[in-house]
A and B are shown apart, each in its own frame.
Chain A
């Protein structure tokens, strides 16, 4: 007879036969930690039935075609699920911690206008236009302005580029009336849109930007308007035709 509970000690005072799940764990431990197995091996060898059942479980895993090393992790994963009454219930749940994503608007974005004249005299949305003939220079300066705003904790709403304008310069030839000598000038424009600029700080900010302007770059700081917003969209000739027909 065995004394007491299932976990009762065997006649030699050694730990009794293991339950099925305990055995699995011990097996996993044995494969994962050889030293652990060495310690328990003599214990297990003394009990024939435990060996048998051990081998049985081993066989079971072998026949199922799994690698015993993998099945060590497999044991932990493929055991019965963490039951509701157990402390491990809900382990691995994370969706409740992540903020739900707002559905993205597919159509055009709505404009948000801040108060222009408030108690703190904050500007609304301002557009900083940087215009130059050299694209690398404009882009690099736009990058600088953006980084400056980040560093000064000014919120940058958007940083975009306006379409490039190409200009063909025709020079009158020295001999004759033909306009021949060409050069092609491309004008690039980058816009950094900021909001929440303090009126007291705006002065300093504008001075910094102005004094750091590289050669050849024009600066223009304007308030953001509907026309600026709509100017970025492509012209739709069919729509305009239809509208003209209606009117």
Chain B
């Protein structure tokens, strides 16, 4: 299972968080293997947010599952006893036959509503009911920035950001500031993303994954060797980007589509904590 590997990752994250304190980044250098001579560590810390929209509709059954379901349903029906409604239907069918055979003594009609009438009414109501469509407009158009697509999958928010000179697709992130926990960094990213339109629920305080990269030689300054990003998972409750936001900057992608946007190494790390069922 991936759980043990996750736990070691989280163990690493935990020992990072233990050293969070109101002082400087300097204390972090104690946990680094290669401690530089100056007090500041060369790694910049970023908290990233993995915002997931949970599936709204259950997945469609595979052909084998459908066959099995049909078989089990049939077995259940054959083994089951008659319900009240069916017993009533049988009684009334008997009474009707007796009436036809003229041996019947006229009794008071207790039930005005026969079972047949009830069933007809229900049938009509059922025909009037129209279930929602599984494949929405956005699916047809392949509009990836809409939230109303792929209703049976998990969707993750990706944002285009400037990293150095290039525009890179990544999960929304923000730099860690001393005095806050990494989870608060992630919450801050959420707030800045949508100006408080998106509501999300964080399930826990621990990060779910991490990614470490070194800056290219040109960008490397004295203090910064590279950056470490810690991902936090949140489930989207309500809200969406307002349509006024620039179109090309964000995308709601499912697990397969992530490959279209993210860089390979980043993608490999992100894939590890995505649960797609």
Contact = CB atoms under 8 A, between A and B. Distances in A.
Contacts of B198: none
A202 B208 CA distance: 11
B275 A211 contact: yes
Contacts of A211: 54-55, 154, 275, 277
Interface stretch (B2-10, B100-108, B247-255): B2-10
Given A208-B275, A212-B277, A201 B54 contact: no
Interface in A165-212: 199-204, 206-208, 210-212
B1 to A, nearest CB: 8
User: DSSP class of B's interface residues: helix, strand, loop or mixed?
Assistant: loop
Interface in A47-78: none
B3 A152 contact: yes
User: DSSP class of A's interface residues: helix, strand, loop or mixed?
Assistant: helix
A124 to B, nearest CB: 16
B242 interface: no
B14 A200 contact: yes
B117 to A, nearest CB: 11
A204 B208 CA distance: 9
Interface in A200-229: 200-204, 206-208, 210-212, 214-215
A11 to B, nearest CB: 81
Contacts of A208: 275, 277
Contact of B206 (A199, A207, A212, A215): A199
Nearest to B13: A200
Given A201-B3, A204-B3, A208-B275, A214 B204 contact: no
A207 B206 CA distance: 14
Contact of A203 (B54, B55, B58, B233): B233
Given A202-B204, A206-B203, A215 B7 contact: no
Contacts of B277: 208, 211-212
B208 A203 contact: yes
B58 A207 contact: no
Nearest to A120: B14
A37 to B, nearest CB: 61
B6 A204 contact: yes
A220 B163 CA distance: 42
A201 B4 CA distance: 10
Nearest to A213: B58
B129 to A, nearest CB: 16
B7 A202 contact: no
B205 interface: yes
Given A208-B275, A210-B54, A211-B54, A200 B10 contact: yes
What's the interface size class on A, roughly?
10 to 19
A215 B235 CA distance: 19
A106 B105 CA distance: 62
A200 B206 contact: yes
A200 B232 CA distance: 12
A208 B273 CA distance: 12
B203 A201 contact: no
Interface string A127-156: 000000000000000000000000010000
Contacts of B3: 152, 201, 204
B128 to A, nearest CB: 14
Contacts of A207: 203, 233, 235, 275
A211 B277 CA distance: 7
Contacts of B55: 211
B10, B204, B206, B233: which has the most chain A beta carbons within 10 Å? Answer: B204
B62 to A, nearest CB: 16
Contacts of B154: 211
A42 B277 CA distance: 81
Given A207-B233, A208-B275, A199 B58 contact: no
A200 B235 CA distance: 16
A34 to B, nearest CB: 57
A203 B203 contact: yes
A206 B202 CA distance: 11
Interface in B1-27: 3, 6-7, 10, 14
B54 A202 contact: no
7 contacts: A200-B204, A201-B7, A202-B203, A203-B233, A204-B208, A210-B54, A210-B235
Given A199-B205, A199-B206, 7 more contacts: A121-B205, A200-B14, A206-B203, A207-B235, A207-B275, A211-B277, A215-B58
Q: When A and B form their complex, which 6 residue pairs have the shortest distance between CB atoms, in order from nearest?
A: A203-B204, A200-B206, A203-B203, A200-B10, A211-B277, A206-B203
